[in-house]
Structure 1
Amino acid sequence: MKHLILLIALFHFHLADGLAQARYFTKTGHIWFFSDAPLEDIEAHNHKVVSVLDVSTGEMVFSVPMKEFQFRKSLMQTHFNENYVESDKYPKATFKGKIMNLDAVDINREAAYLVRVHGVLNIHGRDKAIDTVGTLEVKGGRIYGKSTFSITPQEFDIHIPRLVRNNIARRIDITVNIIYTPLTGNSL
């Protein structure tokens, strides 16, 4: 009986270890946005993005704390959080998606791979389907993910007052730069 319990325990740990190797994780992902406007460019960076990538299925999730976006001017940050994205009411943006061409990625070979990602971005309580391209680079036991795509405030029911509407570009570029490490029991 002791041998059977030991065998089951070893199988369980081996299985859990295999599952952990299929998932990669970060708590310090970097997402920033840029708005090229006539009066003043608007740029904000967030280095507290949490993301998990499952390389066996291609599924990925992101959680972006809205109050962690840092602006060059504190007044911009205040307006962003209080007037536009309403961070107290909608504290996080999320993305749930999947790599559509996962068969083009060899996680065991160090190289850069072009990927197509499809999913749903939620900002300000509104969902929008996103279909974009990016790169995954396997290097040194890590996976480096990069992508850039554009959105509009209107797609997420973010109202820009007429007085400042010309200060913000109609389309806002969002750049994602993530360094994933293998998910282990100590990662969370």
Structure 2
Amino acid sequence: MNKFLLAFIFIISSSITSETNEFIERQGQVTFFSYTSVENIQATNNQVLSLFNPETQEIAVSILMRAFVFKKSLMREHFNESYIESDLYPKATFSGKIIGFDATSEDEQTKIIKGDFTLKNITKPVEIKAKITKNADGYIISGTLDVLINDYSINVPPLLSPNISKKIEVSFNFKYAPYEK
């Protein structure tokens, strides 16, 4: 999996045109939540890699699926083996652009990020409402995305179908620092 991350970093860093204005988040946080009548399902991943270029407004994210932590080990097992099939699809990715972002502004900005989210080798266009804050070290970008399980071929056994929400809320929080090549 480290080969995937290195390839991802190389591809993204070579596709971002600015030489001095790149930012990286190596331990970004992605959390997902699913309401169910039996038991809510929640997991957090603190090993998310993301690159951001304020000048071009481009952002890219790579999420290792096995890095999600659940409160119950059985939930993690079902997630990785049955629903996401992490052995076949080890990561999810997002690449997109922040629409109307002003890199010179010191104020907090609420913007739409348009891009492509890929999960289980299925890519769908998405729009994410995000909050962007510039600080002394870099940027903080956070937001929420609703993922429909049918859009990404997440198969739920009929017996469990009433217990699994059709929509999963995915939240993210990335604290970017300058990227040193």
State TM-score, norm by structure 2.
0.87
Matched, 1:177 2:159: no
Larger radius of gyration: 1
Matched, 1:165 2:161: yes
Distance in 2, matches of 1:137 and 1:20, equals 22
**Cα deviations by residue, 1:2-48 (Å, 9 ceiling, x for unpaired):** xxxxxxxxxxxxxxxx9443111011000010001111000000000
Partner residue, 1:47: 46
Provide structure 1 residue ranges, at least 5 long, that are not aligned to the other structure: 1-17
How many aligned residue pairs are there?
165
* Alpha carbons 2:44, 2:69 under 8 Å: kept: yes
Distance in 2, matches of 1:167 and 1:34, equals 13
Alpha-carbon RMSD across the aligned residues, in angstroms, is 1.3
Partner residue, 1:152: 148
Distance in 2, matches of 1:176 and 1:123, equals 16
Shift of 1:141: 2.2
**1:159 alignment partner AA:** N
Among the aligned pairs, what percent are the same residue? 30
Provide structure 2 residue ranges, at least 5 long, that are not aligned to the other structure: 1-16
Partner residue, 1:6: none
**Cα deviations by residue, 1:116-152 (Å, 9 ceiling, x for unpaired):** 1000000011011101211110012220000111011
**2:156 alignment partner AA:** I
Partner residue, 2:131: 135
* Alpha carbons 2:18, 2:53 under 8 Å: kept: no
**2:29 alignment partner AA:** H
Distance in 2, matches of 1:45 and 1:27, equals 15
State TM-score, norm by structure 1.
0.84
Distance in 2, matches of 1:166 and 1:143, equals 40
Distance in 2, matches of 1:45 and 1:126, equals 22
What does residue range 1-188 of structure 1 map to in structure 2 within 5 Å? 19-102=18-101, 105-107=102-104, 109-185=105-181
Secondary structure (helix, strand or coil) at the match of 1:163 reads coil
